[in-house]
Every structure is written in C-alpha cells, then in structure tokens.
Chains A and B, each alone.
Chain A
Amino acid sequence: MTVLPDRVVVTSEQFRANREAMLAQLRQHDEQLAVVNGGGGPKYIERHRQRDKLLARERIEALLDIESPFLEFSPLAAWGTEFPVGAGTVTGIGVVEGTECLIMANDPTVRGGAFNPITMRKSLRAYEIARQNRLPVVNLVESGGADLPTQSEIFIPGGQSFHDITELSAAAIPTIAVVFGNSTAGGAYVPGMSDYVVMIKERSKVFLGGPPLVKMATGEESDDESLGGAEMHARVSGLADYFAVDELDGIRLGRQIVRRLNQHKRGPGPRGPGKPPRLDPEHLLGIPSVDPKVPFDPRDVIARLVDDSDFDEFKPLYGSSLVTGFAELHGYPIGILANHRGVLFSEESHKATQFIQLANQINTPLVFLQNTTGYMVGKDFEQRGIIKDGAKMINAVTNSRVPHLTIHMAASYGAGNYGMCGRAFGPRFLFAWPNARTAVMGPQQLAGVMSIVAKQSAASMGRAFDEDADEALRKQVEEQIERESLALFMTGRVYDDGIIDPRDTRTVLAMCLSVIDNQPIEGTRGYGVYRM
C-alpha cells in the first residue's frame, strides 16, 4: 500500500489560475448542456407538453431506478456542426430494475426526433457500447425517421442501426423498444427488430407508409390508427407485445420487461471495499495547467481518483515521463498509464508496452490518463529507433484484450494519442476534460511546419517568399488548429463519449468499470510478458 502524498498547494497562484480557467470552461460546457436540455426550444417543448407528452430526459428519468446514476454519452454531439447540438437524441447508461441498461431516447422536440448524420454516429456508438458491455438496450422511440435533406449521408450507414439491434439480440443481449409516437418508414424497423415492443394507446404510430403514401401507391384510403396504431399492432399485426394506456404505463411496462431479463454480470466484480480517495477530488480543478505547455504530475490526479489514494507505482525510476502503476477504483482493480512530462521516449514506450502486457496477464482493465505531446523527434531518437519503440507500444495497446478507459486530461497530440489509446484504438469508454486539446500536433508547431515547408518550396522554385503573407497564413492556420483541437469540437464530432467535469472522473470511471464487469475480463494470451 502506497498512499500518495498531497503536494497540491491550493493557495498558490498557479492553482488559482488553473482553477479559474477550468471553471470558465465548465461554465461554457454547462451553457451548452442547458441548450441541449432545452431540446428544440421553448415553442416545441410547449407544444410537446400540451400533447401531454414527456420530454426525452423525463422519459429516461421515469424509466430509471430511483436514485440510480445515469451517465449520458456525448450530450454535446453535433456542437459546432450544421446540426442542433445534442443531435436530437439522448444515449446513456442507467439502472433499470437493478440492471445496467443502455438507454436511448429520441428528442421529438428537435426536428421531430429526425436522424441526421451525427444522430446516427451517436446512436451507432450507443449500440457499440451495448454490444461491448452486454447491456440490454431500451429504446424510447419517437422519431420522424431520416432528416431528409441529409439522407445521402444517412441512408447507407443508417442501415447499420437495424443490423446492430438484431445483432445484439443474436448475442443474447435483449433489446426493448417503447414507442411513444412516430416510428415510421425506416424507423418502423426499430420496434421491428427489437425483442420486446411496447406501444402506447393512441400515441404509437408504426408503419412503413403513412396514409398519403398508401394513397399514392395503391389508392387505398386509410388512417394512422389502422395502419400503425398501438391497438392494431397489439391485436392484429402482433408487432406490439405490450399495450400501454399512456406514456407512464409504457415506462412501467418497459421496467417490467427489464425486471424479467434475468441478467447477471459475467465479470469478476470488485475486489476491494472501494474507500474514497484520501485527497479531495475538488482540487482536480486546479491541477491541469491553464497553459497546455506546462506539464503537471499525474500522481496528483491519481491520488484524487483511486481508492484510498493508494497507488502502487510500477517502474517509477524508469521512463519517468510516463507514470504506470496499479490501484483500485470503487474496488475494481485497474492499471494506470498516465503521461507526466508529455513526451514519450523509447524508455516510456518500453515501460508502457511491458505494463500493458502485465495487465493482460492478470486480466486487469487499464486506464489511460492522457496528456501527451507525442513521441520524441530528433536525429538521436530516430537513430535509436523511436519509431520501433512507439510501434511496440501501439502494438501492445492495439492487441491488449483487457478493457481500456481513456481520459483526455489535457494535451493529446500526434501518435501519442494512439499509443495512449485514443478513440481509434477502441477504448471501451473515452471522456475528455473541458480543457483537453486533441490534434495531429500543436497549433504553433503545425503552422510553423507549414511555413517552413512553404519557404523551402518557394526557395526550390526560386520564388520570392512573402513574409507578411506567411505570417498571416501562419496565424490563420494556428487559430484553425487551435479551434479544431478543442474539447467541444472533438465532442461535437463524437470523437469521445462526452466531456466530463474533472471532479466527476472517479464516478464516471467507477460506472464504466461496473459496466465493463458485465463481460468476463480476459487479457491477451500467447507469449510471456516481454521484458523491454
């Protein structure tokens, strides 16, 4: 047992400045959350309520067990895109009748709950989470289907959602659809592919073609209820398994279905008592540097995340720019890899590779705390094989079979993003702090590289080099990269599972570890652990 010391000086100017910068970023994040929670705006919410309907998040709250937590994924999806922030859908993990479930809910106040390309990305990510973690899916459906103006971007990839629902079913992961309103045309396949379907009296509308389309196609006169009402589907077509009299009754039936799903966790469960950290997580606000160039000691973060602030470090004297070690979080054993001084050298790569193999040998999930500027460059390092060493680490991360959880604490540049299990490396969950920056390289470096290349190009062609124009371009590029590397930008593209308040990190990780525990944990087997 190694209890980490408290080295954070909360009265320091540095801490205060860091904290204020973090709080400002959190405020900005919260403002965006408020926009998302406001759905399609007051007018549409009012209209929705007048129809005696619950909002998407109200439906979810009603579905969840009392006092249970709910982890919403990518609430700010579509931020900075042409689509409404939030992407008109809510996805997350919550507890229903004692079972962790993946819950999805269309927000019908946002353009009728229509699917745009970001909605699709968010939904497919949710199905992926359900599949990877064996979570039953509860779909609270009310969607007008594809956002027609963007159909070209939705139609082909969108088929995957129906594919995924039935694939989950085949993997013995139950799927439930509670249909609160429209679920028509392609949307009809959401209940169509689900294992259990609840429809609500005079609310659900599930058909391939509505009355106008039917009239056009066959000349038949029809109405919504006879084509796809809950009564019809419950009594005649059999598409509805349960008939609810109103929305809350639909929620009740959804809960009733989950209660009988007979789910149990297949993972090893927590080992320890899950004592809280000895150090105050509140201080996490002031630890990450306001200036991304200033590194911070990740042990100060770890001390505020792990049980009892107890962290047994592995190879502390070797490759000290990367901190590795073992701990427990809410009792779940974890291995942690955390960047210290940003850059990864050969030693750090070796250390990481060995540590990842060790974690696989003992079936222990890994948590990556990213603050990296990438692998070291330069003649010496190239000659000593930094590419080969980085490749070892990326190889180990890629082929590791224990679950990975990644937190973007600050910087995530270059191949360091990959080696530290960035999004492309399939961590089970990936969250970012609001100060995080993710890009191929730092904005200044990128702009500078472009400038040097341009200068060389001009020289080789014998053209004069316009220093002023270069300076302007440099500035413009720098600004663009800075903007596109921000956490909001990344989360808008669903390149993470959401931005979280650093103070929530322990809770989020705990929830993820519990969710991961639905599956057995078995590391990669084959060779013994290579001593690097």
Chain B
Amino acid sequence: MINRVLIANRSEIASRIIRTCRRLGVGTVAVFSDADAYAPYVREADSAWPLAGNSPAETYLRGDLLIAAALARGCDAIHPGYGFLSENASFAQSVIDAGLTWIGPPPAAITAMGSKIEAKRLMRAAGVPVLPDSSVESLEEIGLPALVKASAGGGGRGMRIVRDAAALDEAVASGQREAAAAFGDGTVFVERFVEGGRHIEIQVFADLHGNVVSLFERDCTVQRRHQKIIEEAPSPAVAQPLREAMSAAAVSAARAVGYVGAGTVEFLVDSDSRFSFLEMNTRLQVEHPVTEMITGLDLVELQLAVAGGEPLPPAALEPTITGHAVEVRLCAEDPESGYMPSSGTFRRIDFAEIDGVRVDSGVTSGSAVSPFYDSMIAKVIAHAPTRAGAINKLQRALSTAHLIGPITNRSQLLDLLPQLAEQWQQIDTGWLDRNPLSATDAPSAFIAAAALAWARSQRTALAKLPPGWRNNPSQPQQVRVGRHEVHYRHDRDGLVTEAVVDGVAVEEGWMPALRFIETEIDGDVVFVARGQYRFAIPPRYTPPDDAGRAGSTTAPMPGSILRIAVEVGDTVVAGQPLLAMEAMKMEHQIVSPAAGTVAEVFVEAGQQVDSGQPLVRIDSS
C-alpha cells in the first residue's frame, strides 16, 4: 500500500496523477522548477518541493534531488510520469535502492527495451513479428526504401529514410551524429521502411502475480514529424482478429522482458494489416486517456495497485471496449511556422463542460508557458458511442474553448478532425508531413472585427467622442492586424459603415454584427472567436534599422589614425570597430554605423585627420 507519492514530473501528467491519488486518499508531493513555481499542478499537490533552475538537466532530470525530496517529504513511492526519467533504468534502480517504491517496470525491463536493437532481438526470440534490420539481415534482404533509426532514441531523432542505395552511407553517418547529440549514443541500425504504415500500439498491464493483459489498441497514426498529435481507441483499422493477434504479441513481448506495470507495445501496421514490432514504451503514455475512456479503467490507479503489490482487479483482467475515444494534443506551437514553440501567459484558457469530454490540462487562466519544456499544454479527449460522435464532440470542445494566449495548434486540429472522420483510410504516419495544411485565413468579418477592436483599444485623448470622427471624412481609417490590412469608415456616431480587408469589402450583411463579434486583446495580440483566430498587431511605425546612418563615418575630432581594422569589401555589422584613432590622449574606436560592406577607406594608419574628415564609407546591405 502506497501512502505518499512524489511525482517526478510536471504539468498535465502531474495533475492527472494527483487527481487519482487524491481520489484514492494517497498523498502527493509535487516538484517544480523556477518556471513552474506557479503552475496549477504545484497548487494541486498536497505539498511541493522546489528544484532550483529551469533546464530539465538542472531540475526534472536530477534524480538525486528527486529522491532526496521524496525522502525528505516522507514519500514511499515515486511516479515518474512520462518523459524525463520515466524510462531511465538507473534512476529506477536508485529509487528502489533508496527504499522507495518505483511506480514503473523493473529496471531490467526498461534496460531490455531501451536499446531498440536489443529489444528487437528479444522480440524475435519471443516470436513477435519484427521488420528485417541490419543487425540480422543483409541490406539486400532489408531492401529499399529503408529507414535509419537510432537504437537509443525516439521522437524521430536520428531517423533517415533512404530510397537510394547511394545515399545510405551518408544517411547512416548523419543519423549517428544526430543520435549521438540527442541521446549520447550514436548507435543506429537500418530497418525496412514500410510505406503507408499506421502506428498502432497495444496498452499492456502486468502485475507481480503473473497476470499480463492487453487493454486493446490505440491508433496514433496522425503524426507530425514523428510526433503524435491525435490518438484514438479503438482503431478504425483494427478488426477483432487483428486486435487479438496484436494483443497476443504484445502480451508475449511483455512476458519476454518480465514486465510489470503499465507499458505500451508499438507496432507498425501495413496496408495489408501485417504488423511489426517497433518498440516498447516502458511507462504510462501521453495518450493513455483514450484507453481509460473506452475501458472505464483508471491506469494510474492500476499502476499504484500493481506497484503496491496488489494483483490486477477483475475489471482489468477482463477488459471490454465501450464506445470510441479520440484525443488531441493541444500544443503551444505554430503549425504555420514549422511548429515553432510559442511561450507566454494564457490570459484565459477554459473549456466548455461537455458530457464525455475530458480535458487533462497543465495550464489555467494566468498560467505561463515557458520555453524550457515540451510544448503540449493540454490533452482534450472525447468519448462517445461512435467514432463520428467522439470526433464531433472533440470539435465542439476545441472550437468553444477560450484560448487567449500564446499561439496553439488548435486551428490545425480543427482542420484535421473532419478529415480524420471522413478519410482515415488515406492517413498514414507520414500523411500530415506530406500534406501540410494550408493556412486557412479567418473570415474577413473576423479580421475586420479584430482590427476594430484593436483600433478602439488604442484611443487616447478625446476618447469619449465618436471614434475616428471627422468633419471632413476624406479617407478611410487604416489598421494592420496580423498580415492583413483593414480599411474602414465610420458614420458620425462612430459606427462602422464599411470595412475592407486586404482590398475586399466585408459583406454588408456582416456590418451591423461586426461589433458583436467577441474579441479579446492581450498586449499586442487580438483574439477573435475565443482565440480561434489570433492576430499579432505589427507596430504602427518601426524605426529604420540604421536610420540612414550608413554612409561615410567621419572623424569626431582632430587626431591621428592608430590602426585600421577593416579592408575594402569586408562585410561589417553595426557597431563593429572600423579603426582606432588617438585624439587628446584618448583612444577612440570608430565603429560601423550600420550593417553593410566597406566601400572605401579614406585614411591610413599614422595619418593626421581633421574633425569631420571622412574615414570609411559603408554601403548599407
């Protein structure tokens, strides 16, 4: 029986673990970095322990500090969540050595699955289907296309697709470099590459009493750059015989490594429903909620039970599937600019209460998203009797949520869900990367509403007068929102009578409704429709970079040239020293006034110069 758990993790998964612990009467201790000091999970835990610093290496990866905290706070167990130290066997061992319960598989099982090459060897031996790879098969047997994979890693790092034999060596070399940098282990192997494969995984659970069960599959085929973004259970591509075969293989895999606790066996399923082992994740998965929703089980509760030495309960030993669940990962990132992570404070983030919709969130209104950690801010999971129903609910949940803060991938998710509903057969793991969704512009009325809301917020003196009032209205008013230019006209009472977005007039029918479109402003960003559309306002005027300072630099006073640091043709940046001169016993650095190239040097070392005499001419770049 576990009494108090230290959660060696952060954000939504920490909250999620705390929720179950609280329900079961188990105490919780959170840990937090400086940046996470005000995160919701820290408040939700019974108590919290600070980890000074921000980088994962200083904080959530510091096993020694975590164990010390657990001991100091009287914990009897550590839950690692996912990521960070969750699949670190030596940490697991240290936890056990410290006399604490490790809520996870035995360190040996982690080690066995930690090396992909080793894991595949074990799986072959256990009769689990695997793809041919360079550790066993020849390159001819593997065939083309092939995939270079890092043995130690995941997340697509170190991975290279090779379609041409001539490119193999280079792919292996670069894969090794990347793997070494990412995981500290440059081992790679070459594996047959399956085109059009689906990523389907089996959730397994094992206890210390010899029970190993499959809790069915999750379909995680929708990925961007090898990162899952939508997961569902059950998979539309898995019929009962396949489910049974995959479950049996997954259970064999778990048994082969003496597995205990929650684990996930990932398979690649080709278009002919042949499946091959990819890897085993020896932890709770991000996407575990879809399994929970279709089985009615609480996987964290099962983890605590198993770690406490209890056998799996009957509900887990004979699980059933009810309905369909779909999860999306809501991330603070911009799909339109290469999934660039965004950071900042959520002025408002909340979701409508919808029956069957679960939100596992790491942030609340007022929470800051820091640049130090994963960009995922929340998971939204919908459960319904049918797949279409679940997708519908999810769309409703996403579109009605207020997300007023850093840019998120909500729009992309909302674009994806209907496609997932209608054409899932066409989707494979590379689908999203091959078909990047073209950014759909907001309806022009929304753009206009954003412009007007922004304009209204910018009023200064005479703010009680009708906005933009003119006794001689000679031209429309003009505001830029995002990349749009909006022109509009008022009547004498300040009502907008005409709005033109990027040269196209907003339909007249919209005009009376414009001011009722919900907008929120946070700093220089205008949010429309609860943040579904988000417009950064460019500064109205920006000072020029070099304010015309390019040109000749001149001697600021009479003196002599000490040395010249540049030559004609050199590229210089603003502020770069060009030469030194001595005047009035002082040495003066003459720096470039602007970025550019050195066009002419008018003086030489030792030369006397007068005040105002040209020294160097810079042509601005």
Would you call A57 and B474 a contact (CB within 8 A)? Answer: yes
* Chain A 487-532 interface residues, beta-carbon cutoff 8 Å to B: 498, 500-501, 503-504, 507-508, 510-511, 514
Partner of A274 from the list B464, B477, B541, B548 (CB cut-off 8 Å) is B464
List chain B residues, Cβ under 8 A from A66.
Answer: 454-455, 458-459, 477, 479, 540
Given A66-B540, A69-B468, check contact A507 B492 (CB 8 Å). Answer: yes
- Per-residue CB contact flags for chain A residues 231-262 toward chain B (1 = under 8 Å, else 0) read 10000000000011100110110010000000
* Chain A 40-90 interface residues, beta-carbon cutoff 8 Å to B: 57-58, 61, 65-72, 75
Q: Which residue of A lies closest to B465 (CB)?
A: A69
List chain A residues, Cβ under 8 A from B462.
Answer: 68-69, 95, 100, 510-511, 514
CA distance A330 to B462 in the complex (A): 10
Would you call A255 and B465 a contact (CB within 8 A)? Answer: no
CA distance A351 to B479 in the complex (A): 51
Q: Which residue of A lies closest to B479 (CB)?
A: A66
Distance in Å from the Cβ of A261 to the closest Cβ of chain B?
13
Partner of B465 from the list A36, A201, A511 (CB cut-off 8 Å) is A511
Describe B's contact surface by its main secondary structure: loop
Q: Does B460 contact A (CB under 8 A)?
A: yes
Q: Which residue of B lies closest to A274 (CB)?
A: B464
Would you call A501 and B471 a contact (CB within 8 A)? Answer: yes
- Per-residue CB contact flags for chain B residues 442-458 toward chain A (1 = under 8 Å, else 0) read 00000000000011101
Would you call A252 and B460 a contact (CB within 8 A)? Answer: no
CA distance A503 to B543 in the complex (A): 41
Would you call A255 and B541 a contact (CB within 8 A)? Answer: yes
Given A61-B475, A61-B477, A503-B492, check contact A70 B470 (CB 8 Å). Answer: yes
Given A58-B475, A67-B455, check contact A510 B470 (CB 8 Å). Answer: no
List chain A residues, Cβ under 8 A from B548.
Answer: 201, 231, 243-245
CA distance A65 to B541 in the complex (A): 12
Given A500-B471, A507-B469, check contact A249 B544 (CB 8 Å). Answer: yes
List chain B residues, Cβ under 8 A from A33.
Answer: 472, 474
Partner of B478 from the list A61, A70, A71, A507 (CB cut-off 8 Å) is A61
Q: Does B547 contact A (CB under 8 A)?
A: yes
Distance in Å from the Cβ of A69 to the closest Cβ of chain B?
4
CA distance A508 to B459 in the complex (A): 18
CA distance A67 to B459 in the complex (A): 6
Distance in Å from the Cβ of B517 to the closest Cβ of chain A?
17
Size of the B side of the interface (Cβ < 8 Å), in residues, is 30
CA distance A33 to B470 in the complex (A): 12
CA distance A46 to B46 in the complex (A): 73
CA distance A67 to B494 in the complex (A): 9
Would you call B547 and A245 a contact (CB within 8 A)? Answer: yes
- Per-residue CB contact flags for chain B residues 275-312 toward chain A (1 = under 8 Å, else 0) read 00000000000000000000000000000000000000
CA distance A239 to B457 in the complex (A): 37
Q: Does B461 contact A (CB under 8 A)?
A: yes
Q: Does A37 contact B (CB under 8 A)?
A: yes
CA distance A255 to B477 in the complex (A): 18
Distance in Å from the Cβ of B114 to the closest Cβ of chain A?
58
List chain B residues, Cβ under 8 A from A37.
Answer: 472, 474-475
Distance in Å from the Cβ of B12 to the closest Cβ of chain A?
40
CA distance A274 to B460 in the complex (A): 17
Q: Does B467 contact A (CB under 8 A)?
A: yes
List chain B residues, Cβ under 8 A from A70.
Answer: 469-471
Q: Does A119 contact B (CB under 8 A)?
A: no
- Per-residue CB contact flags for chain B residues 358-392 toward chain A (1 = under 8 Å, else 0) read 00000000000000000000000000000000000
Distance in Å from the Cβ of B581 to the closest Cβ of chain A?
19
Q: Which residue of A lies closest to B456 (CB)?
A: A67
Would you call B459 and A65 a contact (CB within 8 A)? Answer: yes
Q: Does B184 contact A (CB under 8 A)?
A: no
Distance in Å from the Cβ of A111 to the closest Cβ of chain B?
19
Q: Which residue of A lies closest to B541 (CB)?
A: A252
Would you call B472 and A36 a contact (CB within 8 A)? Answer: yes
Q: Does A484 contact B (CB under 8 A)?
A: no
Distance in Å from the Cβ of B415 to the closest Cβ of chain A?
33
Would you call B475 and A71 a contact (CB within 8 A)? Answer: no
List chain B residues, Cβ under 8 A from A249.
Answer: 541, 543-544
Q: Does B466 contact A (CB under 8 A)?
A: yes
CA distance A274 to B478 in the complex (A): 28
Given A69-B468, A75-B472, A507-B469, check contact A99 B477 (CB 8 Å). Answer: no
CA distance A248 to B455 in the complex (A): 19
CA distance A69 to B542 in the complex (A): 23
Given A58-B475, A61-B477, check contact A69 B470 (CB 8 Å). Answer: yes
Partner of B471 from the list A68, A72, A98 (CB cut-off 8 Å) is A72
Mark B residues whose CB is within 8 Å of A.
454-456, 458-462, 464-472, 474-475, 477-479, 492, 540-544, 547-548
- What 12 new A-B contacts, CB under 8 Å, besides A65-B461, A201-B548? A36-B472, A37-B474, A66-B479, A67-B455, A68-B462, A69-B469, A70-B470, A251-B541, A255-B541, A330-B464, A504-B492, A510-B462
| A-B pairs with beta carbons under 8 Å apart, 21 shown | A33-B474, A36-B472, A61-B478, A67-B455, A67-B456, A67-B477, A68-B468, A69-B467, A70-B470, A72-B472, A75-B472, A95-B461, A98-B460, A100-B461, A255-B541, A500-B471, A501-B492, A507-B466, A511-B465, A514-B461, A514-B462
- Shortest 7 CB-CB distances between A and B: which pairs? A252-B541, A98-B460, A69-B469, A66-B458, A67-B467, A37-B474, A57-B474
